[in-house]
Amino acid sequence: MQAPHSVPGRDTEHSAEGAISCMVRRYRNGMADMAPESDLLACEVPLALEYNGISHATVLATPCDLEDLALGFSYTEGIIRSAADLHDLEITATEQGHIAQLKIASACFSQLKQRRRTLAGRTGCGLCGLESLDDVVRPLPPVTAPREPITPSAILRAMRTLADVQPLHRETGATHAAAWADLSGDILQVREDVGRHNALDKLIGALVHRRRQQDTRAGFVLISSRASFEMVQKAAAAGISTVVAVSAPTHYAVQTAQRLGVMLIGFARQRDFTVYTHPQHMA
């Protein structure tokens, strides 16, 4: 298994992978420009996940940081318990898309077969393909409170720099981001994808891979989207106690955050934000 792409100290400076150019004709004020121009589009390809040789799920994703996505998905879905349960991971490109071949611990594979899902993931949808309502809510314990209270200044500082660490969105305008910020509000890692769930899984995969260096109680997650139920559940599965969203949370997300001990913050823009759950974690 190769280590995910990283920049020493700060993992926010990789180039805008996952984009492809095409020729477009622009119209301004109702009139066409003289000549076609080159434009960049975010890539979206199928990624099939196979565990110990058995197909399990297919998601549509931006083809960068795919190892992080495979690891993060496996972790937030409860397929593996830690990075140590993943023995090998290979990404193979095909004409139809990419295949992530994961070799996991026998105990994890046995458990996976017992609660087999048939997921056909779609962009922006994290619950497609679940076989029953019992599969939606995972029996997770409440997360531990942050190591130190989160300060408003740290949240606002991180939000001010979030746009600067999204090269793919800057080039295409078509991707979401999930970022990890420390208690000072410095963004240390960021992942982008056309799917908001994928972006968060990629980030969590990177955090899990670096767990010895990264304490998930010593910071918070930023997401450039609304805060849905599953975004909160994925964060809680990774032990993350604070989720900060650019847009609104759903009612189910707020209920889930309250139950799992997650401080959920929405409408984090400019100089303002709204705390929906567990305000005691705020300094």
Q: What is the CA radius of gyration of the chain?
A: 19
Q: Kindly give, in sequence order, each residue whose CB lies less than 8 Å from that of residue 53, ignoring residues fewer than 6 positions away.
A: 101
The pair of structure tokens assigned to 232 is 């909160």
Q: Over the range 128-159, which residues count as b (16 or more CB within 10 Å of their CB) and which as e?
A: eeeeeeeeeeeeeeebeebeeebeeebbbebb
Output 122-126 pairs: Cβ under 8 A, ≥24 positions apart.
122/60, 123/44, 123/60, 123/194, 123/195, 124/195, 124/196, 124/197, 125/197, 126/197, 126/228, 126/230, 126/231, 126/234
Per the residue annotation, which of 22, 43, 108, 125 is the catalytic one?
A: 125
Task: Yes or no: say if 76 and 202 are a contact pair by the CB < 8 Å rule.
Answer: no
- Tell me the backbone φ, ψ of residue 70, rounded to 5 degrees: -65, -40
Task: Yes or no: say if 154 and 186 are a contact pair by the CB < 8 Å rule.
Answer: no
Number of Cβ within 10 Å of residue 217's Cβ equals 16
Comparing CA positions, the residue from 51, 134, 29 lying closest to residue 99 is: 51
Active-site residue 64, yes or no?
Answer: no
Classified as helix, coil or strand, 148 is coil
The pair of structure tokens assigned to 37 is 């121009």
Measured between alpha carbons, how far is 196 from 192 in angstroms, rounded to an integer?
8
Residues forming the active site:
125
